[in-house]
Amino acid sequence: MQRRRWLRHLLACSLLVAVVTPLLNTPASAEPPLFWGAHPELRSGQTREQAYVRLQTLAGRKLDSVRQFYLWNESWPTSYENRLKTDGVTLVMSIKSRLLNGTAVPWSQVAAAQPGTARYNEMVSWARRIRDYGVPVWFTFNHEPESKGNNDLGTATDFIAAWKRWVSILQQEGATNTRLMWIMTDQSFWLPATDSRAAARWYPGDSWVDGIAVDAYNWYNCRPGISNAWRPLRDIIDPARRFWLSHTGEQFWVTEYASAEDPAVPGRKAQWYRDAQALFKTPEFAVTDGVMQFEPPHPNSNCIWRPESSASALAAWQAWGQDSYYGGGTPPPPPPGDPTAALVVGDAASLGTDAGIADRLRARGYTVTVQDDNAVTAASVADSTLVLISQTTSSGALGTKLRTLTRPVLIWKPSLYNDMGMSPTEASSTSQTTIAITRPDHPLAAGRSGTVAIVTASTQLPVSDTAATATVVATVASRPSLFVYPAGTAMSGLTAPACRLAFPMQSGGIPRLTPDGLALFDTAVDYAADGCS
Cα–Cα distance, 448 to 427 (Å, whole number): 25
> What proportion of the chain, given as a percentage, has pLDDT over 70?
93
CATH number for region 340-529? 3.40.50.880
Closest CA to 79 of 533, 502, 497: 533
90, with CB counted inside 10 A (0-12, 13-18, 19+), is buried
Q: Judge whether 490 and 424 are in contact, CB under 8 Å.
A: no
Strands 500-502 and 290-294 come out as unpaired
Q: What is the 3-state secondary structure (H, E, C) of 289-352?
A: CEEEEECCCCCCCCCCCCHHHCHHHHHHHHHHHHCHHHCCCCCCCCCCCCCEEEEEECCCCCCC
Rounded to 5 degrees, what angle do the CA atoms 317, 319, 322 make? 115
DSSP letters spanning 364-394: TT-EEEEEETTT--TGGGTT-SEEEE-TTS-
What is the Cα–Cα distance from 373 to 389, expressed in whole angstroms? 9
Residue 22, judged by CB atoms within 10 A of its CB (0-12, 13-18, 19+), counts as buried
Tell me how far apart the alpha carbons of residues 180 and 395 are, in angstroms, rounded to a whole number: 46
pLDDT averaged per 10 residues, the chain (length 533): 37 36 43 88 82 94 96 84 92 94 94 94 93 95 96 97 98 97 97 96 98 96 83 98 97 97 95 98 96 90 92 97 91 77 93 91 90 94 93 92 94 94 89 94 89 92 93 95 93 92 85 90 91 80
Q: Residue 325 CA to chain centroid, in angstroms? A: 28
Say whether the peptide bond before residue 480 is cis (omega within 30 degrees of 0).
Answer: no
- Is 355 in a helix, a strand, or coil? helix
pTM of the predicted model over 0.75: no
Is 3-326 CATH 3.20.20.80? yes
Pairing type for strands 459-463 and 428-432 reads: antiparallel
What is the residue extent of each domain of the chain?
3-326, 340-529
Q: How many helices (H) and strands (E) does the chain have?
A: 13, 19
